[in-house]
Each structure stands twice: as C-alpha cells, then as structure tokens.
C-alpha cells in the first residue's frame, strides 16, 4: 500500500483516508493505494464495511489532471471504481469540501454517500475537454435519471450538498468531522444490515431523443465538443448493459483525450492558476488594503468602485463637479442594483454599500487616508499628471497610486510624483465589475510590494491578474491593435467585415472584431488613428473608409449605426450597407481588385498576426511568459477557452507552419508581416511556447 492511503480499523469498519494534498487528486499512487487498501480490508478478519474519507480540504478533486496526455499507469480509474463497487463489504464515502470528477465517481462506486453541509459535488470534466471517464456517465443517470444527469454532466456545474441530496446523488447530510460522522453512519447501516447497493446493478435510464439532445448541446457549446460527446456516453447507459456502456464511455473519453480542445482547456486550467504565481513575488508581503480611492466616476471609475464595494472595501470616489459626482453615484447604484436583482447581494447590503461603504466627493482631501487609489479620468497625459501631482500631495505615505490608463506611458505618469516606487498600472476592462481580467502594469520603478499588492487586490476582487510591462497598449490592447490591423487589411483586400466576424465567431470568439468595435465606440479608434498619424510609417496600410462614417457622427452601438445598424429593443445589429459602399469606394480609389478569402484563410491570418505580435511582446519582456498572453486574451478579449490562448494555438499548429504562413503573407505586405525573431529562435532550437512556460516555472 502506498503512503497516500492511511488504513485504520474501527471495530468492524476499515477507514481508508486519502492523503494527497492539496486536494487529494487521484494520481497513480492514490489509485494503487486505494486498490491495495480495499484488498487489505477484505482480507482483514472481522471487517464488514469500508469507509473512504479524504484528508485536508477536500474529499477528492478528481483525476490528477497533470497525468493527462502521459502514458497510462495501472490501475486506471474506471477499473478502480469497479473494484471498489464490487467489494463484498459495504462501502461508504464520507465527503467534505469538493468531490469532483473522478472524486464523485469514486463516491458513486461506494454503496452509500454521506456529505458535509457545506460540501459540493460535480462532474466538471467537460470544462477540461473530456467527459466523466470512470463510470460517471453510466452511474449518474442510473442514480438520478437521464434528464438530470445530462444537465449535471454537460454543464459541469458544482452542486451544493442540499441540492445533491434532493437529486439523490448523496444519501445523507451531517455536520461534523467527516470520519466521525462517516463512522456513525456506517455503523447505523451495519446495525440494520443494510445491503450493498451497487449503482451498476440499477436499471439503465429511459431513452430520450438522443440526436436532438446531442444537436442542442453541440449548439450551446459554441464549438466546444466535450458536452455533446458526453451525451453520447449517457446514451450508452440507456442502450447498453453496464459493462458495455463502460467500454463505450472509455472509447469516447479516449477520443476526447486526443483532441486539441482537451489540450487547450487543460492549458487554460493550469494557466489561470500559474498566471498570478510570479517567481519575483515569492515571499513578498503585499501592503494592507482596506480602503480604495477612485478618481473619476465615468464608465470605468464607477465599475471599479462597484467591484471594490462588492469585495468589501471602503470606497472614496472623487469627481470634478457636483453633477458628475451625482451621475457617478447613480452609475454605481445602477451596477449594484444589477447585483441585487441577480441575488448576489441583499437589500440590506445594497443599502450599506451605497451609503456607509461609499463616499462620493468633489474634494481630493477625502483621499488622505486611503490605502490605494485608482485613477480613471480622461485618457489624457496632462490631465493624468495633474491628478497624480494632487494625489502625491494628499495621499498618506505608503499609499499606492494606480492608473487605469489604456495606453499612456506609466513611467511618465510616475515621474510626475515624488514617489514613483508607489506608482503602478491597474488596467481594468469594461464593465470593470464584470470582466475578469486585470493587467497589473509594472513600471520601471514600481516597488515589488506594490506589484504584490496589485495582485492581492485582483484576487480580492475575484479577477484573473496578469503582469504586464509598460508599452503602448500593454499586453492585451497592443496585441488587439495588431490583429485588428490584419483584419482591416483583409477588408481592404476583399473580405467583408461581416464575413470576418462570422469566421471568428465560428472559430469560437464571443464576438467578431467589427461587432466589438461597434460596442466599444468607433470614436476611440478614430481618435487613435488621428493621434498616430504623424508618426506613421509610409508603408503602413490604414483604411480610411471608417473615418468617413465617423465624420457623419456614427460611432457604433451608442449612436445606432456603425459596421452594423442597431434597432432599439433588438439584440445585435444588421450589416450596414453604407459600410459596403464606403469600402468599395476606397478599394477603387486605391486601385485594389478585391480577392476572396475563405473563412479558414481569415482565421489563419488573424491568428498569425496575434501570435507574431505576442512573440514580440515576449521578446520585449512586456509579458514574462507565453501563458500570460494566453490568459490575457482568454479573460479580457473573448478568446475561445478551448484553444487555450493564441500562443497555445500556435504550439498546437506547430511553430514552423505558423512562421511559414507569416513569411507567405510577407510577400504581399513585408512591413506588416515582419516575423518576430523569437519565432525563428524557438524553431531553430526545436522548442515551442510551452517550453518557455516550463522554463519560467523552474
């Protein structure tokens, strides 16, 4: 028996305690240990029952995800579950914390399940591009019926103990030490001679319209295949006897294991955990944070204030004038009433958050005692410098001065204070109380504990924080500018904005770039083009047709017209014929003969532009690791999670092919498509971006 399982005897009950911190993942040593421990219990004279418990904070969080993609090691999890279920002893699972994936499958292999009130269960495998592969698709429908099983498995959601009891996933809820309550429950079962109760012996679930269900779930998955594939496995539970159903589940599980989606989703799982784990911050204590100042109560300031209030901070928001302060207060109340409607906060909390926890003022002196200030005023260097000079004069020593600027040079902003070490960028995304991404932008002189505090704030606000360096647009907006340019070039050359949006939503993006532009406001891009015009390289191709639309006062959704025309009360828009006319006029003026692009060609160019700029961002140290870019795009830009991010996408395609494509595009536009030297370096060394992630972790 391995040291991952502690075996103890309590009268006629053998207790198997899983000890594999932090979350008792079912790695090979745990699987072997459990199989051996069941053998031992069966050979242990007088033992009538087995109680399985988990040590530490969870019963079992599932299969060990880090083993996926590696050669299988015996015993495999389905065999282990079948072995546990087949035991002649009565087997009980006492669950606390989470029992997820293989963890719930082990529990369902037991004959009875008792759980702590605060515990959660679920089969989240679809989120890793897989399906429950240790009998979950065969046992759960037998236990709770086909409709419920489909919902639980295809959403992968976590289910609270009370609901699990109602559904019939668990048999009893009892508060207390899991081993103590588990032993009492097992004793009570033995006392009444409760029989073994293998789920595999229960009848299979009733049939439903499998093809229609498969099609509906496939559509809902927006290109993700694992939930729909899980439906086919559940179908096998209905149509085949248990052992054949298990074989079918295994086949489908192994099919999914080989997919790129599985690789992308598992990269995302580890990436979102690694992203805030920075080697330079090891052992660095963040500064204490209780109160947050926000300067500017427009779109962003109000959103940031809302996020901070919801996370329990005291907030002081500063506006320029009384009317603007009132408008800010209204915006925040509007945001919070959304949270109230969704049941995230109670009316009492709403009242407290909009009154005692929040101070809206026109007087900067109110900031004298805050721990951290986020400036979210107009995107104008001279305004920001004035604000920072005021903050420098008013804020207490040690207070962190942060800017939410999208593009401006944070070193220059920091230099306008006498404490540049305390200055940092905290780049939120709109709406700031909803979007998950926070770019923590570290300037030349930012102190380490200030960076650590940026990450601590991100965590407190429930954000995924990514470290970025200072440059025009940091990680996300800089890469966005490049792939938007690639799309704009395709429009000039003959692809319509509507074909591009469709090709990219089919690829899995939440929205296409032109629908996004309409949402963000076309005036922003217009202003940026005008700002950058003086320094523009003569070889740079910049479309001007969209400026004509802006000149007519059309800025996208907010004015009702942009790339699309929007009707009040209707979701989404319809293509704007004026855009097509303006594009054709520009093509004629430039002497361009429009060419046709396939959807695959569009996606390829768009993605290559993203990867090439990502490689430059890495070369310049703006992002420390490829995974930082991947997580930025995933959490801030609607990139499909099942591709793992652009750098993971590039690894999956193979870097030599990506470089070959870029070189081919360079034949048409050598200025835009200059291959990043990092790409060539990695290829020459036979490495890829994952290699860089691994090197950074050691």
- The nearest distance, CB 294 to ligand NAI, in angstroms, is 9
How do strand 400-403 and strand 159-160 relate by DSSP bridges?
A: unpaired
421-456 burial: b if 16+ Cβ within 10 Å, else e: ebbbbbbbbebbbebbbbbbbbbebbbbbbbbbbbb
100 binds, among ligand NAI, ligand 3HC, none (CB under 5 to 8 A by kind): ligand 3HC
- The nearest distance, CB 432 to ligand NAI, in angstroms, is 8
* Residues 583/537, Cβ–Cβ less than 8 Å: no
How do strand 98-100 and strand 120-122 relate by DSSP bridges?
A: parallel
190 binds, among ligand NAI, ligand 3HC, none (CB under 5 to 8 A by kind): none
Which residues from 19-78 bind ligand 3HC, rule CB under 6 A? 22-23, 25, 58, 61-66, 77
- The nearest distance, CB 136 to ligand 3HC, in angstroms, is 6
Q: What are phi and psi of 427, to 5 degrees?
A: -95, 100
- The nearest distance, CB 542 to ligand 3HC, in angstroms, is 43
Q: Which residue in 430, 445, 485, 601 binds ligand NAI (CB under 6 A)?
A: 430
Contacts for 37 with CB less than 8 Å, ≥ 6 apart: 1, 5, 7, 14, 16, 50
Q: Which residue in 273, 344, 396, 674 binds ligand 3HC (CB under 6 A)?
A: 273
Q: Which residue in 66, 74, 290, 299 binds ligand NAI (CB under 6 A)?
A: 299
318 binds, among ligand 3HC, ligand NAI, none (CB under 5 to 8 A by kind): ligand NAI
- The nearest distance, CB 325 to ligand NAI, in angstroms, is 9
* Residues 19/33, Cβ–Cβ less than 8 Å: no
Which residues from 256-295 bind ligand NAI, rule CB under 6 A? 295
Rounded to an integer, what distance in angstroms lies between the CA atom of residue 402 and that of residue 410?
Answer: 9
Judged by beta carbon, residue 428 or residue 649, the one nearer ligand NAI is 428
133 binds, among ligand 3HC, ligand NAI, none (CB under 5 to 8 A by kind): ligand 3HC
Rounded to an integer, what distance in angstroms lies between the CA atom of residue 518 and that of residue 514?
Answer: 6
Q: Is the dihedral of CA 659, 663, 669, 673 positive or negative?
A: positive
- The nearest distance, CB 321 to ligand 3HC, in angstroms, is 43
CA dihedral in degrees (231, 232, 235, 240; nearest 10)?
A: -150
Q: Is 404 in the site for ligand NAI (CB under 6 A)?
A: yes
Judged by beta carbon, residue 438 or residue 500, the one nearer ligand NAI is 438
319 binds, among ligand 3HC, ligand NAI, none (CB under 5 to 8 A by kind): ligand NAI
Judged by beta carbon, residue 432 or residue 549, the one nearer ligand NAI is 432
Q: Which residue in 6, 194, 324, 565 binds ligand NAI (CB under 6 A)?
A: 324
Give the residue from 19, 143, 147, 8 showing the smallest Cα distance to 85: 143
Q: Give the residue closest to ligand NAI by C-beta.
A: 298
Judged by beta carbon, residue 156 or residue 296, the one nearer ligand NAI is 296
Give the residue from 306, 402, 300 showing the smallest Cα distance to 358: 306
Q: What are phi and psi of 426, to 5 degrees?
A: -125, 95
* Residues 367/373, Cβ–Cβ less than 8 Å: yes
Q: Is 301 in the site for ligand NAI (CB under 6 A)?
A: yes
383 binds, among ligand NAI, ligand 3HC, none (CB under 5 to 8 A by kind): ligand NAI
DSSP 65-105: GGGTTSPP-SSPHHHHHHHHHH-SSEEEEEE-SEEETHHHH
98 binds, among ligand NAI, ligand 3HC, none (CB under 5 to 8 A by kind): ligand 3HC
Residue 159: its H or E element? strand 159-160
Residues with active-site annotation: 105, 125
* Residues 137/172, Cβ–Cβ less than 8 Å: no
- The nearest distance, CB 125 to ligand 3HC, in angstroms, is 5
Among the candidate windows 35-43, 191-199, 316-324, 606-614, which touches ligand NAI by CB under 6 A? 316-324
Q: Where are the beta strands (DSSP E) in 272-431?
A: 291-295, 314-318, 358-361, 372-375, 400-403, 423-428
Q: Which residue in 119, 406, 446, 451 binds ligand NAI (CB under 6 A)?
A: 406
Q: Where are the beta strands (DSSP E) in 412-487?
A: 423-428, 437-442, 464-469
132 binds, among ligand NAI, ligand 3HC, none (CB under 5 to 8 A by kind): ligand 3HC
Among the candidate windows 7-15, 106-114, 413-421, 423-431, which touches ligand NAI by CB under 6 A? 423-431
- The nearest distance, CB 624 to ligand NAI, in angstroms, is 22
DSSP state of 556: B
- The nearest distance, CB 379 to ligand NAI, in angstroms, is 4
For residue 134, the SS3 value is: coil
For residue 464, the SS3 value is: strand
Which residues from 526-545 bind ligand NAI, rule CB under 6 A? none
HSE of 640, CA atoms in CB hemisphere, 13 A: 24
Which residues from 628-667 bind ligand 3HC, rule CB under 6 A? none
Q: Which residue in 12, 171, 255, 379 binds ligand NAI (CB under 6 A)?
A: 379
User: For ligand 3HC, how many residues bind (rule: CB under 6 A)?
Assistant: 25
* Residues 303/428, Cβ–Cβ less than 8 Å: yes
Judged by beta carbon, residue 105 or residue 688, the one nearer ligand 3HC is 105
102 binds, among ligand 3HC, ligand NAI, none (CB under 5 to 8 A by kind): ligand 3HC
Which residue is associated with the tokens 């700029």?
613
Give the residue from 447, 437, 444, 535 showing the smallest Cα distance to 479: 437
Judged by beta carbon, residue 385 or residue 502, the one nearer ligand NAI is 385
Q: What is the CA radius of gyration of the chain?
A: 28
Among the candidate windows 1-9, 147-155, 296-304, 652-660, which touches ligand NAI by CB under 6 A? 296-304
Q: Which residue in 180, 378, 588, 663 binds ligand NAI (CB under 6 A)?
A: 378
Among the candidate windows 75-83, 264-272, 403-411, 682-690, which touches ligand NAI by CB under 6 A? 403-411
Judged by beta carbon, residue 465 or residue 561, the one nearer ligand 3HC is 465
**204 is written with which tokens?**
């299979």
* Residues 142/249, Cβ–Cβ less than 8 Å: no
Rounded to an integer, what distance in angstroms lies between the CA atom of residue 579 and that of residue 498?
Answer: 10
Q: Is 298 in the site for ligand NAI (CB under 6 A)?
A: yes
- The nearest distance, CB 236 to ligand NAI, in angstroms, is 48
Which residues from 83-142 bind ligand 3HC, rule CB under 6 A? 98, 100-102, 105, 124-125, 128, 130, 132-134, 136
- The nearest distance, CB 477 to ligand NAI, in angstroms, is 8
Give the residue from 111, 124, 82, 131 showing the smallest Cα distance to 182: 111
Rounded to an integer, what distance in angstroms lies between the CA atom of residue 438 and that of residue 425?
Answer: 10
- The nearest distance, CB 320 to ligand NAI, in angstroms, is 4
Q: Is 297 in the site for ligand NAI (CB under 6 A)?
A: yes
> Rounded to whole angstroms, what are the CA distances from 138 to 91, 127, 131, 411?
19, 19, 11, 59
Rounded to an integer, what distance in angstroms lies between the CA atom of residue 59 and that of residue 545?
Answer: 60
List contacts with ligand NAI (CB under 6 A): 295-301, 318-320, 324, 376-379, 383, 387, 404-406, 428-430
List contacts with ligand 3HC (CB under 6 A): 22-23, 25, 58, 61-66, 77, 98, 100-102, 105, 124-125, 128, 130, 132-134, 136, 273
């Amino acid at each position: 028996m391995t040291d991952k399982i502690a075996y103890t005897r309590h009268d006629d009950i053998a207790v198997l305690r899983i000890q594999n911190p932090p979350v008792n993942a079912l790695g090979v040593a745990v699987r072997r240990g459990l199989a051996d421990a069941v053998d031992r219990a069966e050979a242990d004279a007088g033992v009538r029952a087995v109680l399985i418990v988990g040590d530490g904070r969870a019963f079992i969080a599932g299969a060990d995800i880090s083993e996926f993609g590696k050669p299988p090691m015996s015993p495999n999890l389905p065999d282990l579950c079948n072995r546990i279920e087949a035991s002649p002893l009565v087997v009980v699972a006492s669950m606390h914390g989470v029992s997820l994936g293989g963890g719930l499958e082990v529990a369902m292999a037991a004959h009875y399940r008792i759980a702590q009130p605060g515990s959660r269960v679920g089969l989240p495998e679809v989120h890793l591009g897989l399906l429950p592969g240790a009998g979950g698709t065969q046992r759960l429908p037998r236990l709770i019926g086909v409709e419920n099983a489909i919902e639980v498995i295809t959403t992968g959601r976590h289910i609270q103990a009370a609901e699990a009891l109602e559904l019939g996933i668990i048999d009893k809820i009892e508060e207390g030490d899991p081993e103590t309550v588990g032993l009492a429950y097992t004793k009570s079962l033995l006392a009444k001679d409760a029989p073994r109760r293998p789920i595999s012996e229960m009848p299979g679930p009733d049939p439903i319209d499998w093809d229609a269900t498969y099609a509906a779930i496939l559509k809902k998955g927006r290109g993700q295949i694992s939930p729909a594939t899980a439906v086919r496995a559940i179908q096998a539970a209905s149509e085949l006897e248990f052992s054949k159903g298990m074989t079918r589940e295994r086949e489908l599980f192994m099919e999914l294991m080989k997919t790129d989606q599985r690789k992308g989703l598992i990269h995302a799982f580890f990436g979102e955990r690694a992203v805030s784990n920075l080697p330079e911050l090891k052992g660095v204590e963040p500064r204490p944070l209780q109160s947050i100042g926000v300067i500017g109560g427009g779109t962003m300031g109000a959103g940031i204030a809302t996020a901070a209030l919801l996370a329990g901070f005291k907030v002081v928001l500063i506006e320029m004038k009384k009317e603007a302060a009132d408008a800010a207060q209204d915006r925040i109340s509007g945001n919070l009433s959304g949270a109230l409607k969704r049941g995230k906060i109670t009316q009492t909390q709403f009242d407290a958050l909009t009154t005692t926890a929040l101070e809206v003022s026109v007087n900067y002196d109110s900031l004298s005692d805050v721990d951290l200030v986020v400036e979210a005023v107009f995107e104008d260097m001279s305004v920001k410098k004035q604000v920072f000079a005021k903050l420098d004069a008013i804020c207490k020593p040690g207070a962190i001065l942060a800017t939410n600027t999208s593009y401006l040079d944070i070193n220059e902003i920091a230099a306008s204070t006498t404490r540049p070490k305390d200055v940092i960028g905290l780049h939120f995304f709109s709406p700031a109380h909803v979007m998950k991404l926070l770019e923590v932008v570290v300037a030349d002189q930012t102190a380490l504990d200030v960076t650590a505090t940026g990450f601590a704030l991100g965590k407190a606000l429930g954000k995924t924080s990514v470290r970025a360096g200072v440059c025009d647009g940091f990680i996300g907006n800089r890469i966005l500018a490049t792939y938007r340019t690639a799309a704009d070039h395709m429009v000039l050359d003959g692809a319509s904005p509507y074909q591009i949006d469709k090709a990219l939503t089919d690829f899995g993006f939440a929205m296409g770039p032109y629908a996004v532009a309409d949402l963000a406001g076309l005036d922003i891009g217009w202003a940026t083009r005008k700002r950058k015009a003086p320094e523009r390289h003569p070889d740079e191709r910049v479309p001007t047709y969209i400026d004509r639309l802006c000149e007519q006062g059309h800025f996208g959704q907010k004015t009702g017209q942009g790339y699309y025309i929007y009707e009040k009360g209707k979701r989404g828009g319809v293509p704007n014929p004026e855009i097509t006319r303006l594009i054709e006029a520009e093509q004629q003026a430039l002497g361009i003969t429009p060419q046709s692009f396939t959807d695959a060609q569009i996606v390829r160019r768009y993605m290559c532009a993203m990867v090439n700029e990502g490689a430059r961002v890495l070369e310049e140290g703006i992002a420390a690791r490829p995974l930082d870019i991947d997580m930025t795009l995933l959490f801030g830009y609607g990139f499909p999670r099942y591709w793992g991010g652009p750098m993971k996408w590039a690894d999956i395609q193979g870097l030599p092919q990506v470089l070959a494509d870029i070189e081919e595009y360079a034949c048409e536009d050598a200025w835009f498509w200059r291959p990043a030297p990092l790409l060539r370096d990695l290829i020459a060394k036979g490495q890829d971006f994952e290699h860089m992630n691994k090197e950074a972790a050691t």
